[in-house]
Amino acid sequence: MNKIRKGDQVVVLTGRDKGRRGTVLSRVDDERLIVEGVNVVKKHVKPNPMKGITGGVIDKTLSIHQSNVAIFNAATGKADRVGIKLLSADEQKSRKTRDNGVRVFRSSGAEIKV
């Protein structure tokens, strides 16, 4: 179970975008994420008339390692760590989840809603 998922609000902890907040757009693989408005670089693109691409300088969002971001806790207004709370058999049946736990904030123990 991934502690940070698509659609979560995250805060960047390190790097040139430190302190920036954004939404996770997608997961590239097990360790890397693409976050909206974070790690944006300028890329020079050659024109390709076969594909209908005009040349020029474009903005491209690159991936960032998941260890460099933390989930945003709206209740405290700060970044927070994520824990996994295991569900009992009754709770799991009522929730109809495939995994056997829910994500919670470490500081308060409150559930993270997606």
Q: How confident is the model at residue 101 (pLDDT cuts 50, 70, 90)?
A: confident
Query: What's the Cα-to-Cα distance from 32 to each of 6, 26, 62, 67, 104, rounded to whole Å?
Result: 12, 9, 10, 9, 21
- CATH (residue range 9-80): 2.30.30.30
Residues with Cβ < 8 Å from 107, sequence gap 6 or more?
73, 76, 80, 81
Distance (Å, whole) CA 39 – CA 59 = 10
Domain boundaries, the chain: 9-80
Distance (Å, whole) CA 40 – CA 36 = 9
Q: Give the model confidence (pLDDT) of 39-84 as tens digits.
A: 999 999 999 999 999 999 999 999 999 999 999 998 899 999 988 8
Give me the pLDDT at residue 14, please: 95
**Nearest Cα to Cα of residue 25 among 15, 37, 40:** 37
Give me the pLDDT at residue 93, please: 60
Give me the pLDDT at residue 98, please: 59
Q: How confident is the model at residue 112 (pLDDT cuts 50, 70, 90)?
A: confident
Over residues 85-107, mean pLDDT: 71
Give me the pLDDT at residue 86, please: 83
Global confidence as pTM: 0.81
